[in-house]
Structure 1
Amino acid sequence: MEETTSPSPSPSPRILFRPEEYRALSGDERSLLAEGYLRAIETVRKNITPKGFSACSLEDNTVYGTDANYRSVWARDGAITALWTVDLEDEDIRKAQVDTFETLLSHQAANGQIPANVNIDTGLPEYAGVGGIASIDSVMWVIVGLVHLCEARQDWSLASRHAARLQKAMDWLAAHDSNNCGLLEIPEASDWADLFGFSYHVLYDEVLWYRSLDCYSRLLHHLGEEERAADYRKHAAFVRTKFLSTFWPTTRADTDGEGGPGHTFTDTQYELGDARYLVAQVSPFSYSWRCDVCGNLLAFLTGLLDHERALMTFRFLWGCGVNDPGPVKNLYPPVQAGDPEWRSYYTVNLLNLPNHYHNGGIWPFIGSMWVRFIHRLGFDELAQRELVKLARTCQLGMSFPWEFNEWHHGVTGRPMGKARQAWSAAGFIRACHDLEALPSDISHAI
């Protein structure tokens, strides 16, 4: 059995976060942020294994039944953790970033799919999740995370070693655009919300598809394949136009390339008038008017959504209180039993009851994007205060303080998921680093 002990203690990390300069906060609040930053690094280190990052600390969680798959390197969690810790100079963390991608890409399936996870103990890959459904977003997070890692280190050797595998992964993703419309057709429950009923054109997944195309074009450019890079840039631009015309309903005739054609079947079926946020999911026969908070935040952080629309979205989400009691609920409003969008499987393990898990639960990793979203809008002091609120959420625990829990109840705010979740801690680190820069100086990196 593969050893899964934590790495040896590291020297004091180089501090890239200086909350003592945040004069709008109290001394206690600044101290809380300073402690949270160091605790977050400690939590990420607890997720280091010989094969890469685990999703949650293996020594702090008891797993049984279907939870056994937590003893794995997960493509989604691992790539996000690598991406959001890329600025750290901790050598153990830097090695785990590369190990994560090496483990996942070395277990690629013949058709190009990157596994959803690879078991740490057995080394066996798993390509499907609940119900045998493939994990689409895992592959896109690997593409995005690997490119940003190479860019940050100014070292493209990792991409060069796996160039053929990365191309096969992009081909596998592109095959999900089954009608050549530009957007991917996503099976139900096949992304991070793997017990939730969104399908076909799903906001969150289409944001990642755009970002994957953009990142892959940059990868090809750095590998000297400029002609193919140009093709992928062109494809990304097409997806961008299709994306905005699909997910932002409007009564305005718009042919400037930002809103798409003025009247489509999608516009007719919506009957929503002018949107205040990107809708969660669209199919030829239905749509969900709910606000996928994660997808909307990602759209702005990747540069898909312009400042004006993002400000409208912020005002809507702020008015709805998605950041109370902690930042933030992943979905507004939650789906109630009897609603047309309700699925009977939402009661599996009692996970997706209203205000639970994917159905309106509070997720610290999305809360970190909320803080960055506000900062990029230019509301610096508010972003600092929301970071304090996120720190207080991450400080809670069922067994010990600073659990950086996986998720919290959407009404009570109490932790309900796994302790010392890697992407919860990594998200806090990334939010801290973003707040150290002027909004205009931050590139559109997830």
Structure 2
Amino acid sequence: MALTPPLFEDQEDRVLTADELSFVQAGYERAIDALRRNITEKGFTACSLNDNEVYGTDENYRAVWARDGAKTICWTLDLDDEDIVACQDATLRTLLAKQSDSGQIPGNVTIDHDEAEFGGVGNIASIDSGLWVIIAVWAFCSTRKDFTLAKDFEEELSKAMEWLNAHDSNNDGLLEIPEAGDWTDLFARSYHVLYDEVLWFRALECFAALQRELGHPQAAERFDNMASRARRAILRNFWPSTGAKSQEDGLPSFAEMQFGLGDARYLVAEVSPFQFSWRCDVYANLLAFLVNLVDRQRAMMTFRFMWGSGVNEPGPVANLYPVVQSGDREWRDYFTVNLLNLPYHYHNGGVWPFVGGLWVRYIHKLGIRDLARREMLKLAQLCHQGIHREWEFNEWHHGKTGRPMGKAFQAWSAASYIKTCHSLHVEPDSIELN
């Protein structure tokens, strides 16, 4: 039985029209401009400091953020530009230099006062900051074929991994995450959270590779084994299946034992001893395939579900399906802080251009290249919008209207667009970066 449904069979690649290709390429050039607006001596800011009004809690945008900066690095490594490469290096050095004594990587380091912030909303620790920095260090050093940065911060990187590993408090191969302890820092996820576990798997792989490059083969083997264990644990716990007992370790999945979900079509968002979230964390599921945690067969099942659910409407792509409504068990009153996580807002089903880039790359990796090109055009149309001007590469858009609501010239939105153009080979043949 064919894995690719007839509607999406890539029998004849669709070439974008000249006007469509020109529009996408114009977005590529504007994305590089947006990226440049986030360059500082300390590293990439989350959004352009000169193009956004800052008030109230928005003051924390005046910082080099670990997760924002690391993603921006990973998605711009194909750019051969001195200023951008220098900012990639500075971002990682700024964050690693401010590590806590226990090994925690700060969530951000302020631009104005050079102070490390370790807690987000409610002073809750940012777990994914360290995960993303480990991943970015490997990506940066291996792409540049220069491991100077990793050697300079070898001790700090090891401490960061041990700090992260300490969050596997029951030694089951997965991290235990505090509520609102990652990029969804105003959202109710805790204990075993899919997004963080996918990053943990990838960070373990990257750190093992770093250890090999730094001449520590025994450490590399240890972290390789931990990555394999984490992968098995994620698939067993987050992909409920009636055939779980036939898996390689012979054990039924936790989700199957507790909740009887039957056979899943995607990795569920959260699992704890007391509850689970059956919602589809779109972002985390896209990451899981892009880092090779799930295979193509599972990824195609997930794609069919997400496509049928319309997560790419009105633009690619909502981070969560379905949204959490007031009165739902997963609803929290604090979702209304700054009116951010109302239904179809922000983490609660908002449309995020950076996730849209992952969506396009996910489809392209599945081999459905015709559709990937059409979705790339939709992503360009989304990023073309703006609150004050065209091509703002906003932070996020409303999940129903598609209108921009987040900060303008968001670094990871621009970086994801750049990476997606490279993946689909639709960037201009030649472009002056300087």
With normalisation by structure 1, the TM-score equals 0.91
What is the rounded CA distance, in whole Å, between the counterparts of 2:351 and 2:299 in structure 1?
A: 21
Aligned match of 1:129: 120
Is 1:144 paired with 2:112? no
1:28 CA displacement: 1.6
1:285 CA displacement: 1.2
Aligned match of 2:219: 228
What is the rounded CA distance, in whole Å, between the counterparts of 2:244 and 2:63 in structure 1?
A: 49
- Choose from 412, 415, 418 the match for 2:401: 412
Amino acid of the structure 1 residue aligned with 2:120: G
| 2:104 partner SS | coil
Question: Paired residues, what number?
Answer: 414
1:48 CA displacement: 0.0
Amino acid of the structure 1 residue aligned with 2:144: R
Offset from partner CA, 1:42-97 (integer Å, 9 cap, x none): 11011000100000001100111100010000000001101100010111100000
1:159 CA displacement: 0.2
What is the rounded CA distance, in whole Å, between the counterparts of 1:194 and 1:85 in structure 2?
A: 25
Amino acid of the structure 1 residue aligned with 2:59: A
- Choose from 16, 19, 24 the match for 1:28: 19
Is 1:214 paired with 2:186? no
Is 1:48 paired with 2:49? no
The equivalences for 1:16-415 within 5 A come to 24-257=15-248, 261-415=250-404
1:269 CA displacement: 2.1
What is the rounded CA distance, in whole Å, between the counterparts of 1:264 and 1:237 in structure 2?
A: 17
Amino acid of the structure 1 residue aligned with 2:186: L
Deviates more, 1:320-329 or 1:265-274: 265-274
| 2:269 partner SS | strand
Report if the CA contact (8 A) 1:245-1:261 is conserved: no
What is the rounded CA distance, in whole Å, between the counterparts of 2:32 and 2:244 in structure 1?
A: 49
Aligned match of 2:432: none
Offset from partner CA, 1:387-420 (integer Å, 9 cap, x none): 1000000000000000000000000000000000
| 2:131 partner SS | helix
Offset from partner CA, 1:243-292 (integer Å, 9 cap, x none): 100100000145443xx545244212222210000000000111000000
Aligned match of 1:444: none
Report if the CA contact (8 A) 1:300-1:306 is conserved: yes
Report if the CA contact (8 A) 1:364-1:394 is conserved: yes
Offset from partner CA, 1:106-163 (integer Å, 9 cap, x none): 1110000011000111101100000000000011000001101100000001000000
| 2:280 partner SS | strand
What is the rounded CA distance, in whole Å, between the counterparts of 2:253 and 2:196 in structure 1?
A: 22
| 1:86 partner SS | coil
What is the rounded CA distance, in whole Å, between the counterparts of 1:23 and 1:377 in structure 2?
A: 16
What is the rounded CA distance, in whole Å, between the counterparts of 1:300 and 1:193 in structure 2?
A: 20
| 1:178 partner SS | coil
Gaps of 5+ in 1: 1-21, 438-446
| 2:138 partner SS | helix
What is the rounded CA distance, in whole Å, between the counterparts of 1:112 and 1:35 in structure 2?
A: 42
> Alpha carbon RMSD of aligned pairs, Å?
1.1
What is the rounded CA distance, in whole Å, between the counterparts of 1:414 and 1:254 in structure 2?
A: 46
1:23 CA displacement: 5.3
What is the rounded CA distance, in whole Å, between the counterparts of 2:239 and 2:93 in structure 1?
A: 38
Amino acid of the structure 2 residue aligned with 1:385: R
| 2:64 partner SS | strand
1:300 CA displacement: 0.2
What is the rounded CA distance, in whole Å, between the counterparts of 1:253 and 1:63 in structure 2?
A: 50
| 1:233 partner SS | helix
Q: Which runs of 4+ in 1 moved over 6 A?
A: none
Report if the CA contact (8 A) 2:244-2:253 is conserved: no
1:436 CA displacement: 2.6
What is the rounded CA distance, in whole Å, between the counterparts of 1:265 and 1:120 in structure 2?
A: 44
Aligned match of 1:18: none
What is the rounded CA distance, in whole Å, between the counterparts of 1:156 and 1:149 in structure 2?
A: 9
CA gap of 1:253–1:23, structure 2 versus 1, over 3 A, is closer
What is the rounded CA distance, in whole Å, between the counterparts of 1:234 and 1:262 in structure 2?
A: 19
What is the rounded CA distance, in whole Å, between the counterparts of 1:231 and 1:167 in structure 2?
A: 13
Report if the CA contact (8 A) 2:75-2:418 is conserved: yes
What is the rounded CA distance, in whole Å, between the counterparts of 1:100 and 1:261 in structure 2?
A: 44
| 1:340 partner SS | coil
Aligned match of 1:6: none
Amino acid of the structure 2 residue aligned with 1:310: A
Aligned match of 1:440: none
Report if the CA contact (8 A) 2:236-2:252 is conserved: no
| 1:288 partner SS | strand
